[in-house]
Structure 1
Amino acid sequence: MLIRTLTILLILILTGLHTLTAQETEQENKKLIIGVKHTPPFIVRQQNGQYTGISVALWENIAKELRLDFEYKEYDLNGLLGALQQGDVDVCINPLTVTSQRVEQFDFTQPFFITNLAIAVDKTQQNKWLSFLSNFFSLQFLKAILLLLMVLLSFGILVWLFERHHNKEEFGPGMRGIWNGLWWSAVTMTTVGYGDKSPKTIGGRVVALIWMFTAIIIISGFTASIASSLTVNELEFAVKGPRDLKKVNTLAVRASSGQQYLENNNIPHEVAGDLKTALEQLANEEVNAVVYDEPIMKYTIRNLDLNSKVVVIPSKFATQYYSFSLPKNSELRSRINPVLLSEINGREWRVILDEYDLER
């Protein structure tokens, strides 16, 4: 009886091991469906139908290490998210931003790239008069004017100290004399040459001589400082950051992290089907701003040759973590993560990023 029981247990164990091994072998031999969407520079669809780009290079290195057989299948963004949620794709290698909403729907690998949202604006939106007035009353401009007045007053007081007793008609005592000294130093510096005030004493003329040559040197510096504070900066636009988006006609790409940011912050906006369409609308002055992921937007602007019409402003906000995504509870995540971390910490990953002119 004991021998029969042990024999049955052994048979059950061997059968279970065989079934488990068969399932693992089947899983390893299964051809994975890798969901992609043309998203340069991370996923680039070539004319011959092949895919290249940052995400493709990273994934193919991981698949090679894990000996995974796969094929790519392309979707639009909404189709890709739907296929991922339904399990029609095994891995999505598009640079999806990890958000709280998406975490509830999908599994994500460790992030492989960290970036931020940015704003693109039309260069013709540059408000020169507004920028001029803003700069005219800026702290930099006021400092330059104040420093200039201090220098003028210093030399005016010096010449007044020498002239106040010997040239009372032109400089005189008290505040009137100091004002006349300031007037003289300003006229001398600007080389207007009215001649209504001129030093008569030796000390006054020495001060005047020093001031004449000094003014030639410093006037150029002050002129440059004042000019720079009044010059309209080429990046001085009506939109300087995300706070200004409520005041302009803003556009986002459907189902993107940019659209989610605008919705979360109650910023009115329109929606475009893809980034190319959005940027073309911006270049044609149909909208005032486009919100999207910075590296993808900059790369697309260069590729569409829109640099003369569209610019990404320096303001950066809303950090984005790019990860591969998988259907919920996928066993592939635990296998992919260690290899992914090894890859992005290796030299080849830096070479890939440099190839596409991206910082790590």
Structure 2
Amino acid sequence: MRAVHHTLLFAYLSFIYLLAGPSTAYAANDVNVKVGSYHCPPFVIESETEKPSGLSIYLWEQIAAELGVEFEISHHELGELLEQVSTNTLNIGVSCISITPEREEILDFSHSFYETHLAIAVKQQGYLSSLKNILTNKKLLIVLGIAFVAAGVVGGIYYLLEHRVNDKLYSMRSKRAKMIEGFILGLLFITKGPFNYYEFKTLTGRVLTVLLAIFTTFFIASITAILASTFTLGLLNSDIKGPNDLANLRVGAKAESTSSLFLTSHSIVHQSFESTNDLLKALDNEQVEAIVADDAVLKYLIKMAKESGNYESLSVLPYQFEKQNYGLVLENNSPHREKLNRALLKIRQSPGWHQTLNKYFADK
């Protein structure tokens, strides 16, 4: 009977050990974790002469130290990296990898460690092209049209009220000349503001002046804001106001990226490039008119390139869309995700993490 009891106890302990084994695997010092990465500055910065660095590399190194594991990092392209993690050839994927429902079906992700958006980059145009775009900008033409119509209406009203009694404002002799003076008066009223109350002879004209004084204050402020926005954006690319405007342009995106998936899902035909650097080169060489990529990556790469005297005319447009959350990629149903996430959350609260964020993204 005692022998049976010992046998059952041994079987029970063995079962508990098997259950506990996978969850403690990352805590053993002799475990060598296979980590895959792909070049995605500033999250993973790879070179032929130095070991990988970047925000994601820093995060994983701190997690590995927290869990007490050894690891080796190998370089992969994005598609290959995701495939090898999904087939358990690699244990962890480290880079700027967006968490998406499609990827969640075959992979596990850690908690998000960085949030960004998709963005559009364009090549700034020359002065002549910018001037042409500004002059043909539909919004600008509409604003100018409204201003001229309003000037004609205001000038016409004052002409009917004042042209017979006000020789100071209507000094020309011919009726046509006085009508031109009336239009000029209306244009000045709309663009500059109300005239002196005492410039008008009729009571109706003076009452109208007071009422228009209130209206034109807001009208002029609105027109100024619209024109400032139009001219600023016109210096970049007046044809692009958001992702919907990409349909009629030559657009580029990184192959197998969330940017490419976004464009495909919105039926926007685009060219695919192997790397973000190839993407930037294509834009600078005017092979494409706009590129779509993660905002943080675009801004960092363009900023670093400009510091080296390259890509001086490339700019990221002030439109963000399609939020992206970056996470570490794990094999599907990974038993290590909870322990890794606890370490990740702890590291994100550390001063070292905030210093590293500032290192790569300050003044971006």
* TM-score normalised per structure 2: 0.74
CA distance in 1, matches of 2:119, 2:187: 46
Per the alignment, residue 5 of structure 2 pairs with 6
* Residue 134 of structure 1: how far off its partner (Å): 2.6
Of residues 76-85 and 2-11 in structure 1, the stretch that sits farther from structure 2 once superposed is 2-11
Per the alignment, residue 298 of structure 1 pairs with 299
CA distance in 1, matches of 2:36, 2:260: 22
Aligned counterparts, 1:163-202, within 5 A: 163=166, 170=173, 183-184=180-181
Q: Which protein has the larger Cα radius of gyration, Structure 1 or Structure 2? A: 1
CA distance in 2, matches of 1:127, 1:279: 21
- 2:4 is paired with a residue whose SS is helix
CA distance in 2, matches of 1:254, 1:290: 12
In structure 1, the gaps of 5 or more residues are 192-201, 208-217
Compared with structure 1, are the counterparts of its residues 184 and 5 closer, same or farther at alpha carbon in structure 2 (3 Å cutoff)? Answer: closer
| Paired residues of 2:124 and 2:237 also in contact (CA < 8 A) | no
CA distance in 2, matches of 1:181, 1:85: 81
Compared with structure 1, are the counterparts of its residues 11 and 105 closer, same or farther at alpha carbon in structure 2 (3 Å cutoff)? Answer: closer
In structure 2, the gaps of 5 or more residues are 189-198, 206-216
CA distance in 1, matches of 2:77, 2:67: 28
* TM-score normalised per structure 1: 0.75
CA distance in 2, matches of 1:264, 1:72: 33
Per the alignment, residue 289 of structure 2 pairs with 288
* Residue 320 of structure 1: how far off its partner (Å): 1.2
Compared with structure 1, are the counterparts of its residues 181 and 99 closer, same or farther at alpha carbon in structure 2 (3 Å cutoff)? Answer: same
* Residue 184 of structure 1: how far off its partner (Å): 4.3
Per the alignment, residue 106 of structure 1 pairs with 107
Per the alignment, residue 63 of structure 1 pairs with 64
CA-to-partner distance for each residue in 1:34-55, whole Å, 9 max, x for gaps? 1111110111125642222111
- 1:303 is paired with a residue whose SS is helix
Compared with structure 1, are the counterparts of its residues 190 and 94 closer, same or farther at alpha carbon in structure 2 (3 Å cutoff)? Answer: closer
CA distance in 2, matches of 1:100, 1:13: 39
| Paired residues of 2:151 and 2:187 also in contact (CA < 8 A) | no
Compared with structure 1, are the counterparts of its residues 168 and 243 closer, same or farther at alpha carbon in structure 2 (3 Å cutoff)? Answer: closer
RMSD of equivalent CA atoms:
3.9
Compared with structure 1, are the counterparts of its residues 168 and 260 closer, same or farther at alpha carbon in structure 2 (3 Å cutoff)? Answer: closer
Aligned counterparts, 1:199-348, within 5 A: 225=224, 231=231, 233-305=234-306, 306-348=310-352
| Paired residues of 2:140 and 2:230 also in contact (CA < 8 A) | no
Compared with structure 1, are the counterparts of its residues 24 and 310 closer, same or farther at alpha carbon in structure 2 (3 Å cutoff)? Answer: closer
Specify the code of the residue in structure 1 equivalent to 2:110: T
Of residues 117-126 and 133-142 in structure 1, the stretch that sits farther from structure 2 once superposed is 133-142
| Paired residues of 1:251 and 1:287 also in contact (CA < 8 A) | yes
- 1:44 is paired with a residue whose SS is coil
CA distance in 1, matches of 2:37, 2:102: 20
Compared with structure 1, are the counterparts of its residues 169 and 47 closer, same or farther at alpha carbon in structure 2 (3 Å cutoff)? Answer: closer
Compared with structure 1, are the counterparts of its residues 88 and 169 closer, same or farther at alpha carbon in structure 2 (3 Å cutoff)? Answer: closer
CA-to-partner distance for each residue in 1:178-211, whole Å, 9 max, x for gaps? x8766446678999xxxxxxxxxx997xx9xxxx
